[in-house]
């Protein structure tokens, strides 16, 4: 990418293959071989996906469970490498990809703030400068000095998101940020993500909540069985998924209404 190029993320013919192993022990494998049964199988979690995201775009990544969204997000973040194709990003990338990712369970929340911040590219001085703001955002009280191995999933999310949201990033990735945490925390997360979007940072937001996707994003990518099935207008993408008129594919209505209310309260 050249200096004047405004491309933020470039994904070129990217594929990621995983292997499923049906038998774990040597005995199970031996019996399966004698019976001429398959020992493993492979599948393409992401299959020849290509797209370009320009700096400042807000992208909603959608699709049914198992469509490859999280795998694609991890490759953009650099956690995984594609088996084929290339993923190019420009600038610092931050975000919440997996609850508790980068945390050491035996270290305290305080220590893990510095550890997680370092993994995300922050210097010790930068972390120290932002430490009070991170702790205030996480709002985990006295548990800050307890080992994170004792934390609930909601507390993991609070601390992980609090660190990620304070990274000065060019690209911010969020995978199902509404999936964990209580209602006030979700509202705070969405308001902060809105600030990030409005600042010109590239936002890549994975969610099933159509209300928040409509308000947060200006473009939608839809994955189906690992392939890019749709790339375009937000409303058209949601219609493509039948999220609005297919009860079988709709998520919990109350959660969707909460998302809409929370976004509306902060706009």
Query: For residue 83, which phi and psi values (nearest 5 degrees)?
Result: -75, -30
Residue 215 lies in a domain: yes
What one-character-per-residue DSSP string does 129-150 give?
Answer: HHHHHHHHHH--GGGGGSBGGG
Residue 34 lies in a domain: no
Question: pTM for the complete prediction?
Answer: 0.76
21 pLDDT band, cuts 50/70/90, is: low
Residue 32 lies in a domain: no
pLDDT at 75 over 50: yes
Enclosing domain of residue 146: 56-266
Residue 18 lies in a domain: no
Residue 100 lies in a domain: yes
**Among 38-42, 176-180, 249-253, the least confident range:** 249-253
Residue 28 lies in a domain: no
What CATH number is associated with residue 126? 3.40.50.300
User: pLDDT tens digit string along 222-259?
Assistant: 999 999 999 999 999 999 988 654 443 434 434 444 44
Give the C-alpha distances (Å, rounded to integers) separating 85 from 16, 63, 77, 88, 225: 9, 21, 15, 10, 18
In this structure, the number of other CB atoms found within 10 A of the CB of residue 258 comes to 18
Residue 106 lies in a domain: yes
pLDDT at 142 over 60: yes
**CA-CA distance, 202 to 93, in Å (whole number)?**
9
Identify the CA nearest to 180 among candidates 69, 74, 255. Answer: 255
Number of domains in the chain: 1
Residue 31 lies in a domain: no
pLDDT value at residue 11: 96
């Amino acid at each position: 990418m050249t200096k004047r190029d405004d491309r933020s993320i470039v994904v070129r013919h990217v594929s990621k293959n995983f292997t499923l192993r049906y038998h774990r022990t040597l005995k199970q494998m031996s019996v399966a071989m004698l019976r001429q049964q398959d020992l493993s199988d492979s599948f393409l979690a992401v299959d020849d996906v290509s797209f370009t995201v320009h700096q400042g775009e807000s992208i909603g990544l959608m699709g049914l469970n198992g469509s490859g969204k999280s795998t694609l997000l991890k490759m953009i973040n650099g956690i995984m490498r594609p088996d084929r194709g290339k993923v190019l990003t420009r600038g610092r990338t931050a975000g919440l990809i997996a609850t508790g990712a980068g945390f050491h369970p035996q270290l305290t929340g305080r220590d893990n703030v510095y550890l997680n911040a370092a993994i995300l590219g922050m210097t010790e001085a930068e972390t120290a400068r932002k430490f009070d703001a991170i702790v205030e955002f996480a709002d985990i009280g006295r548990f800050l000095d307890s080992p994170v191995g004792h934390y609930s999933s909601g507390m993991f999310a609070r601390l992980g998101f609090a660190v990620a949201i304070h990274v000065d990033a060019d690209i911010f990735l969020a995978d199902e940020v509404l999936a964990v945490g209580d209602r006030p925390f979700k509202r705070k997360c969405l308001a902060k993500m809105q600030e990030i979007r409005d600042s010109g940072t590239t936002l890549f937001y994975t969610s099933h909540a159509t209300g928040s996707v409509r308000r947060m994003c200006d473009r939608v990518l839809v994955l189906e069985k690992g392939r890019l099935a749709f790339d375009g207008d937000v409303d058209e993408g949601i219609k493509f998924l039948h999220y609005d008129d297919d009860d079988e594919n709709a998520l919990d209505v109350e959660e969707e209404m909460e998302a809409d209310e929370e976004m509306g309260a902060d706009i």
